[in-house]
Chains A and B, each alone.
Chain A
Amino acid sequence: AQTVTQSQPEMSVQEAETVTLSCTYDTSESDYYLFWYKQPPSRQMILVIRQEAYKQQNATENRFSVNFQKAAKSFSLKISDSQLGDAAMYFCAYRGGSEKLVFGKGTKLTVNP
């Protein structure tokens, strides 16, 4: 079975600074997708960024980018120019052939003004 591990229960960053959230996963599949989801307090989960395993190029969405290391099974999220609105729980997720999302336990990000 696939597993996703987020080793940082909490992280904090100063506004306008950069922060990196870590994620590792375990799978024997070759074709899969990785996602970072954001869950603000009392609000629904929304997609931040996705990465196809077959693509070597790291995905980027505005201030959000990933560092995808397939051999190491690592998928970290970098948030540049952090904003107060970035404060939330961040979940790393895996989707493979079974087509369900497997989530990590999450990292709570605090942004300090």
Chain B
Amino acid sequence: DTGVSQDPRHKITKRGQNVTFRCDPISEHNRLYWYRQTLGQGPEFLTYFQNEAQLEKSRLLSDRFSAERPKGSFSTLEIQRTEQGDSAMYLCASSLRTMNTEAFFGQGTRLTVV
């Protein structure tokens, strides 16, 4: 297992288009998290899954954002009708279901909306 992988690494899209990102967590990890990181800021929590159940969503996650984790494996994050303010790095992380365990991060998908 090579860690958390995200695809694509970079995405440039026109305003108003839909985009979808994929995250493949470490195989035995039952928790999967999505974060958004803008330039000069720390990652901000968006949502997380335990297995296939989406347990929490941040109010940052507007109706244009949707995330899924079918069968508790990989996850997708879709942004509909993208806006320039959506430009950011989208990070995925996975961990085991205990508070003290390390969250392993992917390299992120950098989204640029033009």
Contact = CB atoms under 8 A, between A and B. Distances in A.
Contacts of B56: 98, 100
Interface stretch (B21-29, B35-43, B63-71, B80-88): B35-43
Interface string A94-113: 01111111111110000000
Contacts of A45: 43, 91, 93, 105
B31 A47 contact: no
Determine chain B's interface SS by DSSP, over half rule: loop
Contacts of A106: 40-42
B73 interface: no
Contact of B100 (A46, A50, A98, A104): A50
B55 to A, nearest CB: 8
A42 B108 CA distance: 9
Contacts of B45: 100-102
A30 interface: no
Interface residues of B, number: 23
Given A99-B31, A99-B48, A101-B33, A47 B102 contact: yes
Given A44-B107, A99-B48, A100-B45, A105 B33 contact: no
Contacts, number: 57
Interface residues of A, number: 28
Contacts of A64: none
Contacts of B3: 44
Nearest to B106: A44
A52 interface: yes
B59 to A, nearest CB: 11
Given A32-B99, A33-B99, A101-B45, 7 more contacts: A44-B108, A45-B91, A46-B105, A50-B100, A93-B42, A101-B33, A105-B42
Interface of A: 4, 6, 31-33, 35, 37, 43-47, 50, 52, 91, 93, 95-106
18 contacts: A32-B99, A33-B99, A35-B102, A37-B105, A44-B105, A44-B106, A45-B93, A45-B105, A50-B102, A91-B42, A91-B43, A100-B33, A100-B45, A100-B48, A103-B35, A103-B43, A105-B41, A105-B42
